[in-house]
């Protein structure tokens, strides 16, 4: 007992310290990422994908649609301005790109960069001729170089950056162009007035999330701006982004939390008042709930730095479970006290107390096993629910064990009322004589054996949340107008070094070109924006004819009548730049938020430093991992792509929906296997605890409930998913709870009453969870409600059987 | 009737003074129209002065041009280097060097400056107002002066502004282009001859003669603009 008390005090101190330190500033996470299963990818690819997902999930796109171009331009400018005034949003567009800054950043790499035409020209012509060409360029009317004469006297670098910026701008604005093209081509034969033109505004949410209030405020601001501009310009504004789904899910979750917790608390209150006819017995249960939830909150927040809103939804349903410990405590305390104050009776009370503690501990262990199983799923949301629930249950249990003795000794259950209700409930169960029970169990097991192979399954990740139809419609419309690329499919190329990865990417493009249904232009890689390292080195060598001694630059200065020594600065800069090769990583970082992290380097810091120091940065350290994400245009032949990727070990074609399905299916199968292992382990635990074969009957309670549940769902045609299987672990845990109480405290009616009341409160919570608007919670709650109802029936039959057996003895 | 048509690019900031009105107001557009030529087919001469910061002396060049509102413009530099720029109405632009083969002139800057010159010579105010924000200012030396600030962001990367002025005393139109590196190009150009309007301009003897004598290859491209293929053949 001293151990439990010490543990209880430690937990209380931890909880108080946590809330004191956080000063009530708790972060509620509303991201949907926790509901995404990890795909079956290697760690580096998964890390790279996580970075990409985080970046993309902060994108919010606005599409303005208008009949008139001028109206569209005015509305777009106005919308951009209004959105840029919102603090959590950054308006991104190539308009906002400081191309001058980009050129300044890339200037140091210019001796490795050349246009194809310039490469050819420098190779073919003499230094004198190149100087003459440069001179002619200087006199040319249309010559407006991007770089100053000192940095680019021959004009070759300006030509390169001009071409480079045009390419990048075209790529970054592809969505917008696509939208316009789509609109004009669609309406080619129609009246001009009916043509709808579109403009896209890309914005980015600030890093680190906004919190619930911040999210709601931003949504309200966006709605106000949209409404104002729609009224002002008579335009259409569509929007797209994970943000809108996250706010919608958070709002639904918030409603669920308040609904479940309020109704649960009221329900529990009524059950306790009806059972004990006094407010005194409310103190211990409510203290256990408060301590349990507070501790669970503190631990979860401490571990994850924030608490996911779905965890709170599940946490709200814990109320009905943690209350069980108090109910069992009161029922058995009142039963023991009803035996009278004699010394024999005191021994009996002590004995009963000890058995109660033992039963409560075993009950906690089995419940913890049920919840702990959730931790082994690969869904972060379920892992967090497991941590929260286990902490909450343990703390509630400790509260009952440690504080129970201080509760009033006069608490007495109103056996008449509970008995009456229990009798009504048990009446139909009277048909379950021992023989019928055996036949039923056999039939159930046979049905289970027959049904288990016919169970329908569903592993579609889209089941995880049901988006609001309006948000979904807007998302689809924006995707059709503004996106050229498949949202959930891409190619990942893996390499051990930057140079190797660039080479492998080139090989992929070569193969694509050689595979007829596939078109190389349909694949967009950041490597297309810059020459390969090998080409860059060649470019550097070629430029020796420009910047070497007595070469083109000297000849040009001579032609212009300028002192030759003025060319020394650029010649020296050229000589010192041999190692400065431009890597995709630098380019990706240069475009920062506008371009998602398509190039992934595991040791970015090391790489960066090497580049800055001018080392041969392509030589990565052993164990470094590089990934290149290639975007795929819509309309690509995916079957051909998949076949091609199968022939290239370094190419991974990722279809996120299909991969998620596969991942969920695998998890469902492994969870089912784990469930069987859990049954076996619990059976062993029971056997080692009671050392009687007959004690194994306890396991029959959840086993029969599970069998009945599976058969029923199969008959109803419900498809099984991972969450159903995960809920079966809790059916096991709760069924074991009831079975253990029935077995440990074979005192007939009181045990049955306690089981009945505790099951009613649990059913109330799971039933409420089953009414949740979040499909995951709903699915979980529904299975637990049905499963636990079967648990209740099975445990009452088992308790009755044990009571009859005791009487016979 | 020979009407002088002068194009001059001058440093805007050095002479701008007094009032400045922004946006493409009717007043600005009226001022712009007043600077546009009235003839449709004409030829002339130009002098170009380009000031590059790090060069001690400006780069001065001169040459001739011929313009047809139906075909486009040949802009031929004759001193100190010889090369022609051909800007066609079909949006195909070419570089005709003296000795080397003809090249396509691609890129935003080339297109933009070609369109600007074609727009100014054609009196295309619609194009100018679409591509530029126009500001009007008054100047003692040149009278009314227009400052054109490009709207296109890609163009903005290379060109800061274009200034137009038409001093009434000299009957000149002056335009100045200041690029991103503050290099200033000034051109003075004068219209020396006009050609009669003809439905089949290519058969207009005077125009064809002048055109061919200015640049035989350029004239062919102007009359029959076809993009140059990689083999160098058109």
With beta carbons under 8 A apart, name residues in chain A contacting B158.
Answer: 144-146, 162
Q: What are phi and psi of B168, to 5 degrees?
A: -65, -35
With beta carbons under 8 A apart, name residues in chain A contacting B97.
Answer: 136
- The 3-class SS string of chain B reads CCCCCCECCCCHHHHCEEEEECCCCHHHHHHHHHHCCCCCEEEEEEEEEEECCCCCCCEEEEEEEEEECCCEEEEEEEECCCEEEEEECCCCEEEEECCCCCEECCCHHHHHHHHHHHHHHHCCHHHHHHHEEEEEEEECCCEEEEEEEECCHHHHCCEEEEEEECCCCCCCCEEEEEECCCCEEEEEEEEEEECCCCCCHHHCHHHHHHHHHHCHHHHHHHHCCCCCCCCCCC
Query: Do residues A102 and A588 touch, judged by C-beta distance below 8 A?
Result: no
Across A124-133, A201-210, A275-284, the highest mean pLDDT is recorded for A124-133
- Alpha-helical regions (H) of A317-413: 319-337, 343-375, 380-403
Average pLDDT rounded to a whole number, residues A604-608: 45
Across A233-247, A538-552, B94-108, the highest mean pLDDT is recorded for A538-552
For residue A125, the chain B residue with the least C-alpha distance is: B100
Alpha-carbon distances of A364 from A321, A350, A736, B49, rounded to whole Å: 10, 21, 10, 91
Q: Compare B74 and A332 and report the one with higher pLDDT.
A: B74
Q: Is the pLDDT of residue B189 over 80?
A: no
Are A140 and B157 within 8 A, CB to CB? Answer: no
In angstroms, the separation between the Cα of residue A87 and the nearest Cα of chain B is 25
For residue A94, the chain B residue with the least C-alpha distance is: B153
Percent of chain A with pLDDT over 90: 13
Percent of chain B with pLDDT over 90: 3
Q: How does DSSP classify residue A1? A: -
Are A149 and B81 within 8 A, CB to CB? Answer: no
pLDDT at position A337 is: 63
Q: How does DSSP classify residue A748? A: T
Burial category of B231 from C-beta neighbours within 10 Å (exposed 0-12, middle 13-18, buried 19 and up): exposed
Nearest by CB to residue B157, choosing from A140, A146, A566, is A146
pLDDT at position A572 is: 92
Q: Is the pLDDT of residue A611 over 70?
A: no
Alpha-carbon distances of B156 from A125, A208, A230, B179, rounded to whole Å: 32, 35, 31, 9
- The 3-class SS string of A464-490 reads HCCCCHHHHHHHHHHHHHHCCEEEEEE
Q: Compare A486 and B91 and report the one with higher pLDDT.
A: B91
With beta carbons under 8 A apart, name residues in chain A contacting B52.
Answer: 138, 149
Are B81 and A135 within 8 A, CB to CB? Answer: yes
Q: Is the pLDDT of residue B18 over 50?
A: no
Q: The tokens of A789 are what? A: 């109802």
- Identify the residue whose tokens are 């023991």: A336
pLDDT at position A112 is: 94
Nearest by CB to residue A94, choosing from B61, B153, B180, is B153
Average pLDDT rounded to a whole number, residues B222-234: 67
- Return the residue in B181, B231, B232 with the most chain A beta carbons within 10 A, the one to mutate for interface testing: B181
Are A149 and B181 within 8 A, CB to CB? Answer: yes
In angstroms, the separation between the Cα of residue B186 and the nearest Cα of chain A is 10
Q: Which residues contact A565 (CB under 8 A, 6 or more apart)?
A: none
Question: Which tens digit of pLDDT belongs to each residue from A53-72?
Answer: 777 778 888 888 888 877 88
In angstroms, the separation between the Cα of residue A60 and the nearest Cα of chain B is 23
Average pLDDT rounded to a whole number, residues A769-790: 85
Q: Which residues contact A709 (CB under 8 A, 6 or more apart)?
A: A728, A731, A783, A786, A787, A790
**Dihedral of alpha carbons A767, A768, A773, A778, sign:** negative
Are A162 and B109 within 8 A, CB to CB? Answer: yes
For residue A566, the chain B residue with the least C-alpha distance is: B54
Asked if B81 reaches chain A (Cβ–Cβ under 8 Å), the answer is yes
With beta carbons under 8 A apart, name residues in chain B contacting A102.
Answer: none
Q: Is the pLDDT of residue A545 over 80?
A: yes
Query: What ipTM is given for this predicted complex?
Result: 0.82
A523-524 and A599-601: which strand pairing?
unpaired
Q: The tokens of A43 are what? A: 């760690």
Longest dimension (CA), chain B: 55
With beta carbons under 8 A apart, name residues in chain A contacting B61.
Answer: 139
In angstroms, the separation between the Cα of residue A570 and the nearest Cα of chain B is 13
Alpha-carbon distances of A35 from A51, A376, A377, A606, A668, rounded to whole Å: 16, 14, 11, 33, 15
Nearest by CB to residue A149, choosing from B52, B105, B110, is B52
Look at residues B154, B174, B155 and name the one whose alpha carbon lies nearest to residue B163: B174
Are B97 and A136 within 8 A, CB to CB? Answer: yes
Question: Which tens digit of pLDDT belongs to each residue from A465-520?
Answer: 677 888 888 888 887 777 667 777 889 898 888 888 888 998 999 999 888 888 88
With beta carbons under 8 A apart, name residues in chain B contacting A107.
Answer: none
Q: Is A597 helix (H, G, I), strand (E, B) or coil?
A: coil
In angstroms, the separation between the Cα of residue B95 and the nearest Cα of chain A is 10
pLDDT at position A349 is: 61
Band (pLDDT 50/70/90 cuts) for residue B22 is: very low
Look at residues A476, A601, A571 and name the one whose alpha carbon lies nearest to residue A63: A476
Provide the 10 A C-beta neighbour count for residue A97.
20
pLDDT at position A610 is: 45
Alpha-carbon distances of A359 from A373, A684, A789, B19, rounded to whole Å: 21, 17, 21, 93
Q: The tokens of A690 are what? A: 């009671």
Helix axes A775-808, A434-451, angle to 10 degrees: 150
Q: Is the pLDDT of residue A239 over 80?
A: yes
Distance (Å, whole) CA A583 – CA A628: 12
Q: Is the pLDDT of residue B139 over 70?
A: no
E strand map for A419-547: 485-495, 523-524
HSE-CB for A647 with a 13 A CA cutoff: 10
In angstroms, the separation between the Cα of residue A100 and the nearest Cα of chain B is 7
What CA dihedral angle connects B129, B131, B132 and B133, to 10 degrees?
A: 70
Q: The tokens of A517 are what? A: 């249904």
Q: Is the pLDDT of residue B16 over 60?
A: no
Question: Which tens digit of pLDDT belongs to each residue from A679-708?
Answer: 988 899 888 888 888 888 899 999 999 999
pLDDT at position A131 is: 92
Give me the domains of chain B, ranges plus CATH numbers. 12-223 (2.50.20.10)
- Identify the residue whose tokens are 């249950």: A393
Are B185 and A100 within 8 A, CB to CB? Answer: no
Omega within 30 of 0 (cis) for the link into A485 = no
pLDDT at position A391 is: 92
- Return the residue in A139, A566, A569 with the most chain B beta carbons within 10 A, the one to mutate for interface testing: A139
In angstroms, the separation between the Cα of residue B199 and the nearest Cα of chain A is 31
pLDDT at position A746 is: 67
Query: Do residues B165 and B135 touch, judged by C-beta distance below 8 A?
Result: no
Query: Do residues A648 and A511 touch, judged by C-beta distance below 8 A?
Result: yes
Alpha-carbon distances of B222 from A200, B82, B87, B211, rounded to whole Å: 39, 18, 8, 9
Nearest by CB to residue A150, choosing from B54, B85, B114, is B54
Question: Which tens digit of pLDDT belongs to each residue from A517-528?
Answer: 888 888 888 888
Domain A31-93+173-240 superfamily per CATH = Ribosomal protein S10 (3.30.70.600)
Distance (Å, whole) CA B168 – CA B191: 16
Distance (Å, whole) CA A113 – CA A247: 46
pLDDT at position A465 is: 66
What size, in residues, is chain B? 234
Interface residues from chain A to B (CB-CB < 8 Å): 94-95, 99-100, 132, 135-136, 138-150, 162-163, 165-166, 169, 560-562, 566
pLDDT at position A402 is: 87
For residue A562, the chain B residue with the least C-alpha distance is: B55
Q: What are phi and psi of B51, to 5 degrees?
A: -105, 115
Distance (Å, whole) CA B13 – CA B195: 36
For residue B112, the chain A residue with the least C-alpha distance is: A142
pLDDT at position A366 is: 79
Question: Which tens digit of pLDDT belongs to each residue from A420-476?
Answer: 888 888 888 878 888 888 898 899 888 888 887 778 888 877 766 677 888 888 888
Considering chain A, what is the average pLDDT of its residues?
81
Which of B 165-204 lie inside 8 A of A, CB atoms?
Answer: 177, 179-181, 183, 185, 187
Query: Do residues A304 and A746 touch, judged by C-beta distance below 8 A?
Result: no
With beta carbons under 8 A apart, name residues in chain B contacting A99.
Answer: 153-154, 157
Look at residues A553, A134, A149 and name the one whose alpha carbon lies nearest to residue B184: A149
Longest dimension (CA), chain A: 122
Query: Do residues A806 and A65 touch, judged by C-beta distance below 8 A?
Result: no
Nearest by CB to residue B158, choosing from A136, A146, A169, is A146
Delimit the domains of chain A by residue range.
Answer: 2-24+247-454+692-808, 31-93+173-240, 485-528+582-633+635-654
With beta carbons under 8 A apart, name residues in chain A contacting B179.
Answer: 144-145
In angstroms, the separation between the Cα of residue A587 and the nearest Cα of chain B is 19
Nearest by CB to residue B109, choosing from A138, A142, A562, is A142
Average pLDDT rounded to a whole number, residues A253-266: 82
In angstroms, the separation between the Cα of residue A210 and the nearest Cα of chain B is 33
Q: The tokens of A251 are what? A: 């709002």
Band (pLDDT 50/70/90 cuts) for residue A346 is: low
Q: Is the pLDDT of residue A182 over 60?
A: no
pLDDT at position A119 is: 93
Nearest by CB to residue B83, choosing from A136, A144, A147, is A136
Question: Which tens digit of pLDDT belongs to each residue from A720-742?
Answer: 888 888 888 888 888 988 888 88
Question: Which tens digit of pLDDT belongs to each residue from A204-227?
Answer: 887 766 677 788 889 999 999 999
Q: Is A10 helix (H, G, I), strand (E, B) or coil?
A: helix
What CA dihedral angle connects A356, A359, A361 and A363, to 10 degrees?
A: -130
Look at residues A744, A729, A802 and name the one whose alpha carbon lies nearest to residue A328: A744
DSSP assignments along A93-118, one per residue: -TTT--HHHHHHHHGGGGGG---HHH
HSE-CB for A556 with a 13 A CA cutoff: 30
Nearest by CB to residue A165, choosing from B55, B117, B154, is B154
Considering chain B, what is the average pLDDT of its residues?
75
Q: The tokens of A526 are what? A: 């950041």
Asked if B232 reaches chain A (Cβ–Cβ under 8 Å), the answer is no
Provide the 10 A C-beta neighbour count for residue B7.
26
Q: The tokens of A714 are what? A: 């199969």
In angstroms, the separation between the Cα of residue A466 and the nearest Cα of chain B is 42
- Return the residue in A97, A136, A141 with the most chain B beta carbons within 10 A, the one to mutate for interface testing: A141
For residue B116, the chain A residue with the least C-alpha distance is: A142
For residue B153, the chain A residue with the least C-alpha distance is: A95
Are A166 and B154 within 8 A, CB to CB? Answer: yes
CB pairs under 8 A between A and B: 86
């Amino acid at each position: 007992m001293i151990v439990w008390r010490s543990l209880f005090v430690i937990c209380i101190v931890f909880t108080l310290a946590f809330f004191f330190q956080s000063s009530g500033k708790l972060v509620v996470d509303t991201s949907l990422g926790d509901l995404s299963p990890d795909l079956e990818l290697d760690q580096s690819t998964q890390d790279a994908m996580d970075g990409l997902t985080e970046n993309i999930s902060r994108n919010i796109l606005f599409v303005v649609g208008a009949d008139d171009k001028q109206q569209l331009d005015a509305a777009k400018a106005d919308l951009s301005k209004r959105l840029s005034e919102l603090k959590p949003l950054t308006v991104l567009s190539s308009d906002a790109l400081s191309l001058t800054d980009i050129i300044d950043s890339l200037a140091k790499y210019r001796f490795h960069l050349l246009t194809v035409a310039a490469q050819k020209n420098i190779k073919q012509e003499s230094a004198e001729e190149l100087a003459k060409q440069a001179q002619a360029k200087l006199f040319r009317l249309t010559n407006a170089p991007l770089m100053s004469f000192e940095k680019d006297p021959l004009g070759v670098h300006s030509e390169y950056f001009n071409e480079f910026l045009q390419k990048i701008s075209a790529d970054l604005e592809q969505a917008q162009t696509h939208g316009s093209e789509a609109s004009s081509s669609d309406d080619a034969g129609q009246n001009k007035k009916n043509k709808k033109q579109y403009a896209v505004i890309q914005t980015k949410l600030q890093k680190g999330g906004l919190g619930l209030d911040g999210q709601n405020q931003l949504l309200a601001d966006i709605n106000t701006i949209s409404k104002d501009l729609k009224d002002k310009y008579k335009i259409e504004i569509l929007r797209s982004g994970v943000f809108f789904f996250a706010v919608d899910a958070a709002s639904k979750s918030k409603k669920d939390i308040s609904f479940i917790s309020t109704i649960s608390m009221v329900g529990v209150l009524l059950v306790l008042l009806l059972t004990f006819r006094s407010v005194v017995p409310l103190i211990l249960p409510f203290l256990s709930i408060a301590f349990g939830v507070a501790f669970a909150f503190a631990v979860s927040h401490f571990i994850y730095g924030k608490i996911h809103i779905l965890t709170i939804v599940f946490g709200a349903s814990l109320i009905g479970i943690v209350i069980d410990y108090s109910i069992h405590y009161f029922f058995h305390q009142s039963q023991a006290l009803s035996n009278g104050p004699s010394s024999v009776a005191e021994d009996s009370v002590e004995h009963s107390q000890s058995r109660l503690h033992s039963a409560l501990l075993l009950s906690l262990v089995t419940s913890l096993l049920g919840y702990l199983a959730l931790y082994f799923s690969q869904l972060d949301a379920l892992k967090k629910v497991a941590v929260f629930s286990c902490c909450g249950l343990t703390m509630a249990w400790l509260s009952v064990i440690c504080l129970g003795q201080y509760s009033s000794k006069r608490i007495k259950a109103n056996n008449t009322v509970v008995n009456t209700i229990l009798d009504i409930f048990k009446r139909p169960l009277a048909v379950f004589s021992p023989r019928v029970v055996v036949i039923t169990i056999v039939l159930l097991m046979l049905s289970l054996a027959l049904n288990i192979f016919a169970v329908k399954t569903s592993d579609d990740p889209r089941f995880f949340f049901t988006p609001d139809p309006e948000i979904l419609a807007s998302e689809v419309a924006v995707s059709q107008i503004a996106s050229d690329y498949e949202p959930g499919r891409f190619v990942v190329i893996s390499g051990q070094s930057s140079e190797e990865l660039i080479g492998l990417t080139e090989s992929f493009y070569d193969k694509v070109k050689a595979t007829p249904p596939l078109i190389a232009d349909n694949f967009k890689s950041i490597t297309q924006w810059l020459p390969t390292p090998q080409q860059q080195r060649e470019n550097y060598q070629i430029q020796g004819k420009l910047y070497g001694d007595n070469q083109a630059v000297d000849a040009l200065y001579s032609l212009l009548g300028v002192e030759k020594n003025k060319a020394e600065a650029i010649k020296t800069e050229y000589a010192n730049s041999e190692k400065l090769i431009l890597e995709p990583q630098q380019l990706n970082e240069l475009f920062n938020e506008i371009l998602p992290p398509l190039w992934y380097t595991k040791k970015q810091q090391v790489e960066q430093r090497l580049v800055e120091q001018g080392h041969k940065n392509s030589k990565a350290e052993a164990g470094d991992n590089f990934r290149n994400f290639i975007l795929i245009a819509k309309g690509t032949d995916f079957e051909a792509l998949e076949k091609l990727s199968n022939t290239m070990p370094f190419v991974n074609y990722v279809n996120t929906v299909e991969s998620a399905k596969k991942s969920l299916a695998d998890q469902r199968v492994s969870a089912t296997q784990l469930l069987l292992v859990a049954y076996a382990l619990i059976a062993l635990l029971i056997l080692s605890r009671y050392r009687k074969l007959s004690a194994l009957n306890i396991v029959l309670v959840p086993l029969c409930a599970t069998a009945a549940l599976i058969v029923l769902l199969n008959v109803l045609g419900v498809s099984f998913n991972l969450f159903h299987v995960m809920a079966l672990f809790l059916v096991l845990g709760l069924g074991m709870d009831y079975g253990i109480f029935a077995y440990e405290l074979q005192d007939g009616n009181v045990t049955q009453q306690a089981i009945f009341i505790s099951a009613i409160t649990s059913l109330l919570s799971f039933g409420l969870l089953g009414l949740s608007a979040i499909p995951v919670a709903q699915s979980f709650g529904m299975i637990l409600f049905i499963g636990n109802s079967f648990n209740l029936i099975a445990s009452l039959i088992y308790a009755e059987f044990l009571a009859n057996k005791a009487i016979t003895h | 009737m020979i009407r002088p048509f002068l194009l001059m690019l001058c440093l805007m900031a050095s002479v701008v003074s007094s009032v400045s009105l922004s946006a493409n107001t009717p007043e600005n557009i009226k001022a712009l129209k007043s600077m546009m030529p009235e003839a449709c087919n004409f030829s002339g001469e130009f002098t170009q002065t380009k000031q590059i910061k790090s060069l001690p002396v400006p780069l001065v060049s001169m040459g001739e041009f011929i313009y047809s509102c139906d075909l486009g413009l040949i802009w031929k530099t004759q001193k100190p280097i010889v090369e022609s720029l051909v800007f066609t109405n079909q949006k195909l632009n070419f570089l005709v060097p003296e000795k080397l083969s003809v090249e396509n002139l691609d890129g935003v800057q080339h297109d933009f400056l070609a369109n600007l010159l074609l727009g100014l010579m054609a009196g295309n105010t619609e194009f100018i107002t679409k591509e530029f924000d126009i500001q009007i200012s008054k100047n003692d030396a040149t009278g009314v002066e227009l400052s054109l600030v490009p709207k296109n962001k890609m163009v903005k990367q290379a060109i800061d502004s274009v200034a137009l002025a038409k001093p009434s005393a000299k009957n000149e139109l002056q335009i100045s282009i200041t690029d991103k590196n503050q290099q200033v190009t000034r051109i003075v150009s004068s219209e020396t001859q006009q050609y009669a309007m003809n439905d089949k301009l290519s058969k207009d003897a005077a125009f064809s003669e002048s055109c061919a004598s200015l640049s035989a290859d350029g004239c062919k491209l102007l009359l029959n603009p076809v993009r140059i293929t990689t083999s160098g053949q058109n």
